[in-house]
Structure 1
Amino acid sequence: MGMWSIGAGALGAAAVALLLANTDVFLSKPQQATLEYLEEIDLKTLEKEPRTFKAKELWEKNGAVIMAVRRPGCFLCREEAADLSSLKPKLDELGVPLYAVVKEQIKTEVKDFQPYFKGEIFLDEKKRFYGPQRRKMMFMGFVRLGVWNNFFRARNGGFSGNLEGEGFILGGVFVMGSGKQGILLEHREKEFGDKVKPVSVLEAARKIKPQTSSASEKK
């Protein structure tokens, strides 16, 4: 009887732990970025002789859609990159550029990511686009039903990847207005494969007001 009680108790505890792991109770809450914070981020081009510049250059004139990639080799990130790239024709019509930032450049990971992403990619060595408060999802992610659903969705979509690089710091997607217009959309990945809705990106992009030459001169 005692062994049965211990077994039932352990099973009950495991069930409760699994239930809690599938709620948002233990997820770290994202801290919203400010325009001032994002403007001063240092980015690097991925050329042989990289140029360092302030992130605000990306959206100063025409706004921008920016993906902070969790890991280029991740098949879930490649799926989201393909989703965003499907918006490229409409973004081009609006005059809004599409960019991505990565937190590291190892082997051919960025090069292998480019077939999925139709925009220019930059290096954010200090991982500032993943802040102001960096959030990580560790092994708890593998017991979340939402994550497994995302895995199957991406696999069924024909996406594959590898395990190269850091993949625990969560990414996101930003739609930036031009100049001082501000952040029009900020999607923070809450778990592996938590994609932004393309329709939301497009709605935000349509709100961008391109800077006129006179406005740029005043600045």
Structure 2
Amino acid sequence: MLMSISSRIKTKYSDIRDVTLVDFLDVSTETSFPSYELWKYQPTIIIVIRRPGCQFCREEAKIFHENRQIIEENLGMKIVCIVHEKEGSDIFQKEFWHGKVYFDPEKGFYKAFGGGRMRTGSWEQMLRPTFWRNLVRNKRSGVKGNFVGDGHILGGLFVVQSNDGGIAYEHIERVWGDITHADKVLEACSRVTGVQLSKDTVSKAQQDHDKLYNKMQQSSYAKGDQDQNKARE
């Protein structure tokens, strides 16, 4: 089963194994470590964030935070976020993610998606119908963002098996707001861990994905970021 998953992976495991990461939030002293330490003892979901203030990235973080109990307790996996810039990461963590966030100073994970070359998206993406569908979805979610930082670098998501088992699932962001579906990630995690999830559990994860706006409409940061965006216009 794992072989059938891995056969569709384009990113080389060697490109993400030894990326230097920095633990910098909620610690007294910043520490660096090789990325392999993340999944050395347990399989890990790694969300590679395009920009901490990005409304789509915040939406994605909120989606997977809502499934944290299933991922960490039911499946016994770890889930973390990676950023390539520190600015805004504290708000991203406290208001939207509520978990570990690591800094990738050399942008190793971002380059890995492009086979060692950085993948970026320009404003021409706004001409694509997919972008506008993503934007409508985001507006319905109620998750707001700002324009602080570099949002051109594209991100994605990995499910990495423990030890050197390799990448079991990947989602490569091709258009801004191209968020992978929670049910697909959970199905991949179930295959990796061998823990069977009920169809109702997987279905509910996707339903919660689609109903985020019910929990986000009254966010203090959502309102604050909206005011900030208006001030910048």
Report the TM-score, using the length of structure 1 for normalisation.
0.78
Query: 1:33-52, CA deviations, whole angstroms, 9 ceiling, x for partnerless residues?
Result: 22222111000001342110
Amino acid at match of 2:91: D
**Is structure 2 residue 33 aligned with structure 1 residue 33?**
no
**Secondary structure at the residue paired with 2:96?**
coil
Structure 1: gaps of 5 or more residues: 1-30, 211-219
Amino acid at match of 1:76: F
**Is structure 2 residue 58 aligned with structure 1 residue 74?**
no
**Secondary structure at the residue paired with 1:170?**
coil
**Secondary structure at the residue paired with 1:53?**
strand
CA distance in 2, matches of 1:137, 1:209: 34
1:3 corresponding residue in structure 2:
none
2:38 corresponding residue in structure 1:
58
Point out the structure with max Rg over C-alpha: 1
CA distance in 2, matches of 1:199, 1:40: 29
Structure 2: gaps of 5 or more residues: 1-8, 195-233
Count of residues paired in the alignment: 178
Q: Indicate conservation of the 8 Å contact 1:62/1:209, yes or no.
A: no
1:144 corresponding residue in structure 2:
128
CA distance in 2, matches of 1:125, 1:206: 31
CA distance in 1, matches of 2:128, 2:51: 19
CA distance in 1, matches of 2:28, 2:86: 12
**Secondary structure at the residue paired with 1:44?**
strand
Single out whichever of 132-141 and 186-195 deviates more from structure 2: 132-141
CA RMSD between the two structures: 1.5
1:43 corresponding residue in structure 2:
21
Task: State the shift of 1:207 in Å.
Answer: 2.6
Amino acid at match of 1:96: M
- 1:97 aligned to which of 78, 85, 92: 78
1:159 corresponding residue in structure 2:
143
1:5 corresponding residue in structure 2:
none
**Runs of at least 4 residues off by over 2 Å:** 207-210
- 1:122 aligned to which of 82, 91, 102: 102
**Is structure 2 residue 175 aligned with structure 1 residue 197?**
no
Query: 1:101-132, CA deviations, whole angstroms, 9 ceiling, x for partnerless residues?
Result: 000112xx111111211321000011111112
Amino acid at match of 1:103: H
Query: 1:27-85, CA deviations, whole angstroms, 9 ceiling, x for partnerless residues?
Result: xxxx9322222111000001342110000110111110000000010111111111111
1:28 corresponding residue in structure 2:
none
CA distance in 1, matches of 2:65, 2:159: 14
Q: Indicate conservation of the 8 Å contact 2:75/2:193, yes or no.
A: no
Q: Indicate conservation of the 8 Å contact 1:98/1:118, yes or no.
A: no
CA distance in 1, matches of 2:176, 2:138: 11
Q: Indicate conservation of the 8 Å contact 2:19/2:35, yes or no.
A: yes
CA distance in 1, matches of 2:40, 2:191: 15
CA distance in 2, matches of 1:141, 1:209: 37
